[in-house]
Homo-oligomer: A and B are copies of this chain.
Amino acid sequence: MASAFIHINGQNFISTLHRSNHRRPSGGPIRVTMAQKSSYWTSINDDIDAHLRRVIPIREPFSVFEPMHHLTFAAPETTAPALCIAACELVGGRRELAIAAASALHLMHAASYFHEHIPLTDQPRANSRPRPGPTFGPNIELLTGDGMIPFGLELLAKSNNQDDDDEHSDRILQVIIELTRAIGSQGVVNRQYIKAQCDESNPGVGKAGSTRIVTDKKGSELHACGAACGAILGGGKEKEIEKLRKYGFYAGTIQKMSKLEEAVKNREVIEEMRRLALKELEYFDEEKVEPISSFINV
């Protein structure tokens, strides 16, 4: 396997690190191999994909499982589930322990996406929210979205039997609290409200400022939640969970900001986010942080 070593973030990051006096204990920058980075995330994504295809096959009743299956895989990509697995592995947990939570995160993301794009009768034409790609119609997408989140949580709650560890059921409950809070009153819904209000006050605003910032925050929180859930399921200590939650928040923000049109303009902010994210990883064994740290090397 080819192993071309690179420095994460390049010179800008290193100089920021020097200025703010946050050097890694060993003094050197984190290094990952390009091939290692790519194959690590590919292998995680393949495992999540295979798990989702196994637990949501096209089966009877077709009226339920056909749209659920197709909408599961039609949702735009999110990297929060992969981060959940990587956090689990960083604290020493096996991948299987976090696969159900990662799948639940994907289903939450997909359900939220389809509900955000349901055309409602109270929306002016300029502000309607049709989404790209084939659709099953608003009615089916509303009902499928309603089913996807409980289905993801059901699979997670059922995953309790896969481990002999007595503490595992407590950890799953803790993760259910994390996920339901992220999607419920405190998290995504709150963001969606703000988004809806931005949309309403600026009909036809499309991709403009305020809406985009709200969307970013939602993505950041889903990544923070995913990393925390992975750390919990992997048996991480309280401090490890909180460090990874913060890493997830910064990492999610970096992912989103890097994809925006004005990414070049935001270069300094992104570098600062990256610095803060890597600072959270300093708490962990340097050898082990390489895979997860490559997440923010976008």
Q: Which residues of A contact B (CB under 8 A)?
A: 61, 63-65, 68, 111-112, 115, 118-123, 128, 137-140, 142-151, 153-154, 157-158, 160, 169-170, 172-174, 176-177, 179-181, 183-185, 189-190, 192-194, 196-197, 200
Assembled-state Cα–Cα distance A39/B138 (Å): 44
B157 x A142 contact (CB < 8 A):
no
Q: Which residue of B115, B173, B184 is within 8 Å of A142 (Cβ)?
A: B115
- Across the interface, A157 reaches (CB within 8 A) one of B128, B148, B177, B192, namely B177
Set of chain B residues within 8 Å of A172, measured between Cβ atoms: 173
Copies of the protein in its oligomer:
2
Contacts A115-B143, A147-B183, A169-B170 aside, 6 further interface pairs with beta carbons under 8 A come to A64-B185, A140-B193, A142-B142, A150-B181, A151-B180, A154-B185
Whether B154 contacts A189 by the Cβ 8 Å rule is no
Check A139–B122 contact: CB distance below 8 A. Answer: yes
A18 to chain B: closest CB distance in Å? 40
What are the 8 tightest A-B residue pairs by CB atom distance, in nearest-first order?
Answer: A150-B184, A147-B189, A154-B180, A150-B180, A120-B138, A151-B184, A119-B121, A157-B176
Q: Which of B61, B63, B65, B121 contacts A121 (CB 8 A)?
A: B121
| A85 CB, nearest partner CB in chain B, Å | 21
Verify A120–B121 contact, CB threshold 8 A: yes
Nearest CB in chain B: distance from A57 CB, A: 11
**Distance (whole angstroms) from the CB of A198 to the closest CB of chain B:** 12
Task: Kindly state the separation between the CA atoms of A137 and B193 in the bound complex, as whole angstroms.
Answer: 12
In contact, B139 and A123 (Cβ under 8 angstroms): yes
Q: In the complex where A176-B176, A180-B151, A194-B63 touch, is A122 in contact with B120 (Cβ < 8 A)?
A: no
Q: Do A177 and B154 form a contact, CB below 8 Å, given A122-B119, A149-B149? A: yes
A111–B177 CA distance with the chains assembled, in angstroms: 19
17 sampled A-B residue pairs with Cβ under 8 A: A63-B193, A63-B194, A64-B185, A111-B146, A115-B142, A115-B146, A118-B120, A120-B142, A122-B138, A123-B139, A143-B196, A145-B146, A150-B181, A150-B185, A154-B177, A157-B176, A160-B173
